[in-house]
Amino acid sequence: VLDHTTMAPVKRFQASKENRTTRRKLASTAEPTSRCKPSNTRTTKTAMLATTAPTMAVTKTEMSKLLFEKNVNEEELLSKPPDMLTEDFYNIVGRAMRMFEWYHGYMSREGCEEYMKEVGDFLVRRTLIDGKPNYIMSVFVCKEGDKPKTAHIRIDYKSGTWNINENMKKASITQLIKHYQDNSSKYSDAAGPFLKKGVSRPAFYLLHENIHIGKQIGSGAFGTVHVGQLKKGTEIVEVAVKKMKSEKADKKKLQEFFKEGRLMLRFNHPNIVRVYGVAPGDTPILIVLEFAKGGSLKSYCKNNDPVPCAQLDNFAKDACRGMNYLQSMKVIHRDLAARNCLLGPNAELKISDFGLSHRGDSFQLDKLKSVPVKWLSPETLSKGKFSHKTDVWSYGMLLWEIYMRCKEDPFPKKNNAEAMELILNKKPPIDAPPNMPEKIKETMMWCLSHDDTERPDFEGVFKKLLPDETSPLMNQLKNDLF
Long-range CB contact pairs, 299-308, < 8 A, 24+: 300/343, 300/347, 301/405, 301/406, 301/407, 302/406, 305/405, 306/405, 307/405
Catalytic annotation present for 313: no
Residues 393 and 377 sit within 8 Å (Cβ to Cβ): yes
Q: Which are the contacts of 291, defined by CB distance < 8 A and separation ≥ 6?
A: 227, 238, 239, 240
Question: What angle (nearest 5°) sits at the alpha carbon of residue 14, between those of residues 13 and 17?
Answer: 125
Q: Is the peptide bond before 428 cis (omega within 30 degrees of 0)?
A: yes
Alpha carbon distance 340, 398 (integer Å)? 10
Helical H runs in 98-172?
109-113
- For the chain, the residue count is 482
Is the separation of the CB atoms in 111 and 258 below 8 Å?
Answer: yes
What is the C-alpha separation between 318 and 349, in angstroms, rounded?
Answer: 6
Q: Is 243 annotated as a binding residue?
A: yes
Query: DSSP character for 324?
Result: H
The single residue of 335, 409, 452, 457 carrying the catalytic annotation is: 335
Q: Angle at CA 205, nearest 5°, toward 203 and 211?
A: 120
* Active site (catalytic) residues: 335
Known binding residues for ATP are 243
